[in-house]
Chains A and B, each alone.
Chain A
Amino acid sequence: MNNNVVNTGVNGLDRVLYGGIPRGNTVIVEGFPGTGKTLLGMQFLYQGAVQHDEPGIYITFEEFPDQIYKDMKAFGWDIRKLEEENKLRVITLSPEVLMDQMMKPDGLFEHLIHEIGCKRIVVDSISLFQYSYASIEEQRKVIYSFRNTLRKYQLTSILLKEMTSVEEENVSFINYLVDGVITLTLKPYSKNYRKRTLEVTKMRGSRIQEGEHLYRITDEGIYLIPALSMVEDEVITAPVDTVPTAIPAMDRILGGGIHDGATFTIDTNSKSNYRYIVTAIKSGRIKAGQKLLIFLSSLTTISELESNFKKYDLDLAQIVKEGNITFVEHYRRNVPKEYKDAIINVSDLDNEQYRRVMNEQIFSMIEQGVANGEKWFVYYDLNTIASQRGSEFVKLYFGVEVAKISSLGVSTLVFTNFKELGEETSGFVERSSNGVIRTWVDGNYQFLQITKTPNGTISEPLLVEKIDEKPFIRLV
């Protein structure tokens, strides 16, 4: 369990927040009357007390606590019992009394917090402050000092806010002040159905799944189903033609792996260690029974590939012997004889001749294979193509080549260095790709970020940690 986040009591919401609310955050939950704010607030406290042993206080300015005790029975929640166990309090007082007592050292607020070891607070609702304090300045000051007090006691807090149809000018200030904002809405959907949605528009210290997520009010309280772009859902519903990359964290972001037919580009710089990332992806394809076309580069020799594959329990020579890998070689180099038949050497060819070989020999071989039910994967070393064939060649033919490969249902991993490729060509390559993986070194750390995916999810920059066992890197 991650102790730095606080579960909200709504599983789907925790997933939207990648675990929960960062501990100590003050979060606004806003919505029109009837959207479920009170319910969400109580669920947060009830589940906190019951499942996580975190006592909480519900402060209500308007509702009678006994009404809340009664309402929550509908969800099977015995609030009075938790009060007797000192795990929960439903407190009612006026905003002025609360503020007055908060400011006092040894005041009622501090006393109540300490009495039960309070960790969570819900205030229903801060909209009442606006009736208690006449001027906007005063309201702001009060809410500001209120937030500071909640922070001082390290309370993870949910402040409920009633929305009204008139937009108040105070809104943006309060939302700016707090650490998070969650908006609940109730929209007409069809004649006799209204759609309840939840959106997290701000959460300091946490990633969020953006967009509107649907929720229902069930016998067990609020039940939220994260929208389909959710990474976890994609894994569950990953189509059969998606092949894992052997790096679990990457597969989660990619929705299971790389689809057949997709073109992914990996952008690296010379300092970054891309060897494992690339080998992990290739090994995933081999293990899925696919055939590979690999462009050799000036840096990757057969023997280096051999040792990389070995790390992933793959015997390159054996795979080649079975006819499952074909290499395109742009250099004149000595190669072990057991690999000779698998290598198509294009070092002597000019661009015209090279294009012909690509079309007549290589693409037609893949086409033939696919027609016979084979699955293929292409590792396209764009650095080599750019240096050996020129950037004009890349601009003219790269798009055509990947489109051709893709149309056969074959996926491609394009290996490149955007910086060396130049802005214009990189932009073009990026647009031609379904996915972009970037890895770079900054200071003493290597980072990896997935900046484009077919399903629209992207990742924040992840740290690349070197580990001793397969897949040898961990994304954090």
Chain B
Amino acid sequence: MNGPQAMLPLQLECTLYFENNPYAYETVDGLSVRLGRKAEDLEKILEHLVSLNIVEVIGKGATAIYHYNQPELVHGVEV
């Protein structure tokens, strides 16, 4: 049940949340309340999203803050 496949809907949920709310800054606990999902499940997914460069993390541990990593496109426009 804990395999990567089982996590896909939650990963999608997380990705969509950050995409739709690009200026959300969430701790794991905060996101857990927000989405109504277990913190320990979210922790793994967030780590994964960080590795995919979809989400950025500020800080470490319980106070680490996750937020959307704006696609290059947006930065490109700014320059």
The chain A residues found within 8 Å of chain B, CB to CB, are: 64-66, 83-84, 86, 89-94, 97, 100-101, 108
Contacts and interface: CB of A to CB of B under 8 A. Distances in A.
Given A94-B27, A97-B25, 6 more contacts: A64-B34, A90-B23, A91-B24, A93-B24, A100-B63, A108-B58
Give the one of B21, B26, B34 with max A CB within 10 A.
Answer: B21
Contacts of B34: 64
Contacts of A64: 20-21, 34
Interface residues of B, number: 16
Contacts of A86: 78
A100 B63 CA distance: 9
A97 B26 CA distance: 8
Interface string B16-37: 0000111111110010001000
Contacts, number: 46
A450 to B, nearest CB: 49
A83 B30 contact: no
Contacts of A108: 25, 58, 65
20 contacts: A64-B20, A65-B20, A65-B21, A66-B20, A84-B74, A84-B77, A90-B23, A91-B23, A91-B24, A92-B25, A93-B65, A94-B27, A94-B30, A97-B27, A97-B63, A97-B65, A100-B63, A101-B25, A108-B25, A108-B58
A97 B59 CA distance: 11
Contacts of A90: 21, 23
Interface of B: 20-27, 30, 34, 58, 63, 65, 74, 77-78
Nearest to A104: B59
Given A66-B20, A97-B30, A97-B65, A91 B74 contact: no
B23 A92 contact: yes
A161 B23 CA distance: 22
B21 A93 contact: no
Contacts of A91: 23-25
Nearest to B20: A66
B6 to A, nearest CB: 26
B21 A92 contact: yes
Contacts of B77: 84
Nearest to A61: B30
Given A108-B58, A108-B65, A83 B27 contact: no
B74 A65 contact: no
A220 B24 CA distance: 27
B61 to A, nearest CB: 12
Nearest to B31: A94
A93 B67 CA distance: 10
